[in-house]
Structure 1
Amino acid sequence: ECLNKLGAQYIVRKCDELNDNSTYDGVILSGRTNNAKEMNVSNIQIVKAAYSDDKPLLGICYGAEIIALTFNGSLRRLNERIVGENEINVKEDNMLTNRKSLNVFESHGYYIARLPEEFTCIADSSNCRYEMIEHRKRQIFGTQFHPEVSRDGMEILRNFINLTKN
Structure 2
Amino acid sequence: MSPTLVVDNLSPFTPDILACLDKLGAAHTYRKYSEVTQDDLEKCKRVILSGRRRNDQAVNAANSRIVRHCHDNDVPLLGICYGAEIIALTLGGSIRRMPSHVHEQIEIATLPSPLVPSKDKISVYESHGFCIARLPEGFVRLAGSKYCEHEIFAHRTKKIYGTQFHPEKSGPDGLDLLEEFAKITL
TM norm structure 1 = 0.95
Q: CA deviation at 1:53?
A: 2.0
Contact 1:54 1:138 in 2 (8 A): yes
Q: After the TM superposition, which of the residue ranges 11-20 and 106-115 deviates more from structure 2?
A: 11-20
Distance 2:124 2:173 in 1: 7
Matches within 5 A, 1:37-76: 37-76=57-96
Q: CA deviation at 1:18?
A: 2.2
The RMSD of aligned alpha carbons is: 1.1
The counterpart of 1:152, out of the listed 144, 166, 173, is: 173
Structure number with the higher strand fraction is: 2
Distance 1:152 1:71 in 2: 28
Distance 1:6 1:34 in 2: 29
Q: After the TM superposition, which of the residue ranges 30-39 and 130-139 deviates more from structure 2?
A: 30-39
Aligned to 1:7: 25
Which residues of structure 1 form unaligned runs of 5+? none
Which residues of structure 2 form unaligned runs of 5+? 1-18
Distance 1:104 1:111 in 2: 15
Aligned to 1:32: 52
User: Are residue 94 (structure 1) and residue 113 (structure 2) matched?
Assistant: yes
Q: CA deviation at 1:79?
A: 1.4
Task: Give a deviation string over 1:88-127, Cα, whole Å, max 9, x none.
Answer: 111x321011210101101000000111111000011122
Distance 2:65 2:90 in 1: 9
The counterpart of 1:130, out of the listed 136, 150, 172, is: 150
In structure 1, what residue type is equivalent to 2:38? D
Distance 2:120 2:183 in 1: 20
Question: What SS class does the counterpart of residue 154 from structure 1 fall into?
Answer: helix
Distance 1:136 1:70 in 2: 17
Question: What SS class does the counterpart of residue 142 from structure 1 fall into?
Answer: strand
Distance 1:115 1:53 in 2: 20
Distance 1:44 1:15 in 2: 11
